[in-house]
């Protein structure tokens, strides 16, 4: 019995239904109107609702290993969700949220052998190659690959008809982010410098205890 989840739900109910600032009754009555569509990894440590302290109704979310967006194919869960968010809910920002210490990406660059997983990950080989072109340092390869996969996901998103329409009509932007779990910051891709730059600059936590490099994810 997952008592810890139910205890968490009781706190959520108190804050979101019963407090003075409770938002759920209004959202249930009037419906949702989120501005964002977040695509994140399935990793339990980079859950967007947790790391952004999100209030109910803040964003749509879609999760996939490594935050990987595969090339468009009609009728997939992602293509339907994007169409629903963009065409019927006026979402104006799509955020691809990768994260450091990603076990899925570690598996990818270490030739992890599992046909079910590798058949999903194989679309990212171009991103691995791009990362290898940008660094010869094996220690940096993992981070570079995480960044390149976020960028490849952005490119693949443009092939989804609902996204292409929204981009052509200038009613959506796609934002590539990387959550640095060790440091505790959000990095955003900057086209001019062709690098990910720190958007939060809260301070370096790298020396504090963190086992994320050991434990991986997913
Ligand atoms: Zn991950």
CATH number of residue 48's parent domain: 3.40.1050.10
Same domain as 82, residue 1: no
Query: Kind of pairing, strands 93-99 and 185-190?
Result: unpaired
Q: Ligand 1 center to residue 120 CA distance, Å?
A: 14
Sheet strands (E) in 73-211? 93-99, 173-180, 185-190, 195-198
Task: Write down the pTM of the prediction.
Answer: 0.89
Query: Kind of pairing, strands 59-63 and 173-180?
Result: unpaired
Lowest mean pLDDT among 46-55, 94-103, 203-212: 203-212
Q: Which domain holds residue 188?
A: 32-215
Same domain as 40, residue 25: no
Q: How many other C-beta atoms lie within 10 A of the C-beta of residue 94?
A: 28
Same domain as 21, residue 76: no
CA 176/CA 196 separation, integer angstroms: 9
Sign of CA dihedral 135, 152, 78, 85: positive
Task: Look over the chain and give the mean of its residue pLDDT values, rounded to a whole number.
Answer: 90
> Mean of the pLDDT values across residues 98-106?
90
Same domain as 98, residue 40: yes
**Has residue 216 got a pLDDT over 50?**
no
Rounded to the nearest 10 degrees, what angle do helices 125-134 and 138-157 cross at?
Answer: 130
Burial class (CB in 10 A: 0-12, 13-18, 19+), 47: middle
CA 202/CA 36 separation, integer angstroms: 23
Q: Ligand 1 center to residue 199 CA distance, Å?
A: 20
Same domain as 106, residue 202: yes
Same domain as 82, residue 11: no
> Mean of the pLDDT values across residues 26-40?
96
Q: Ligand 1 center to residue 85 CA distance, Å?
A: 24
Domain count across the chain: 2
**Has residue 215 got a pLDDT over 70?**
no
Under 8 Å CB-to-CB from 196, ≥6 apart: which residues? Answer: 147, 176, 178, 187, 188, 189, 190
> Mean of the pLDDT values across residues 157-176?
98
Same domain as 178, residue 97: yes
* CA-atom Rg of the chain in angstroms: 18
Same domain as 132, residue 37: yes
Same domain as 57, residue 20: no
CA 16/CA 54 separation, integer angstroms: 12
Q: Ligand 1 center to residue 52 CA distance, Å?
A: 17
**Has residue 2 got a pLDDT over 60?**
yes
Q: Is 74 helix (H, G, I), strand (E, B) or coil?
A: coil
Q: Ligand 1 center to residue 203 CA distance, Å?
A: 23
**Has residue 205 got a pLDDT over 70?**
no
Q: Ligand 1 center to residue 53 CA distance, Å?
A: 19
pLDDT score at 97 = 98
Q: Ligand 1 center to residue 133 CA distance, Å?
A: 22
Q: Ligand 1 center to residue 72 CA distance, Å?
A: 21
Q: Ligand 1 center to residue 214 CA distance, Å?
A: 13
Same domain as 25, residue 121: no
CA 142/CA 55 separation, integer angstroms: 32
pLDDT score at 203 = 66
Q: Ligand 1 center to residue 172 CA distance, Å?
A: 25
Same domain as 179, residue 80: yes
Q: Ligand 1 center to residue 65 CA distance, Å?
A: 6
Q: Ligand 1 center to residue 21 CA distance, Å?
A: 33
CA 76/CA 88 separation, integer angstroms: 17
pLDDT band for position 212 (cuts 50, 70, 90): very low
Q: Ligand 1 center to residue 150 CA distance, Å?
A: 11
pLDDT score at 202 = 75
> Mean of the pLDDT values across residues 151-164?
97
pLDDT band for position 213 (cuts 50, 70, 90): very low
CA 217/CA 174 separation, integer angstroms: 25
Name residue 40's beta-bridge partners. 63, 97
Lowest mean pLDDT among 2-11, 114-123, 137-146, 154-163: 114-123
Same domain as 97, residue 15: no
Q: How many other C-beta atoms lie within 10 A of the C-beta of residue 40?
A: 23
Q: Ligand 1 center to residue 67 CA distance, Å?
A: 7
């Amino acid at each position: 019995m997952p008592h810890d989840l139910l205890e968490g739900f009781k706190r959520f109910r108190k804050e979101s239904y019963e407090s003075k600032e409770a938002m759920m009754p209004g959202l249930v009555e009037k419906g949702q109107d989120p501005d964002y569509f977040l695509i994140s990894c399935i990793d339990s440590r980079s859950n967007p609702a947790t790391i952004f302290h999100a209030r109910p109704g803040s964003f749509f979310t879609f999760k996939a290993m490594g935050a990987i967006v595969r090339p468009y194919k009609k009728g997939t869960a992602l293509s339907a969700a994007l169409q629903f968010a963009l065409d019927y809910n006026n979402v104006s920002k799509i955020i691809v949220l990768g994260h450091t210490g990603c076990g899925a990406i570690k598996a990818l660059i270490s030739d992890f052998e599992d046909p079910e997983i590798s058949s999903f990950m194989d679309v990212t080989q171009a991103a691995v190659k791009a990362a290898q072109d940008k660094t010869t340092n094996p220690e940096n390869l993992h981070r570079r690959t995480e960044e390149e996969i976020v960028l490849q996901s952005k490119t693949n998103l443009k092939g989804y008809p609902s996204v292409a329409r929204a981009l052509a009509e200038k009613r959506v932007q796609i934002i590539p982010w990387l959550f640095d779990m060790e440091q505790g910051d959000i990095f955003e891709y900057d086209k001019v410098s062709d690098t990910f730059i720190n958007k939060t600059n809260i301070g370096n936590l790298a020396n504090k205890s963190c086992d994320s490099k050991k434990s991986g994810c997913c």
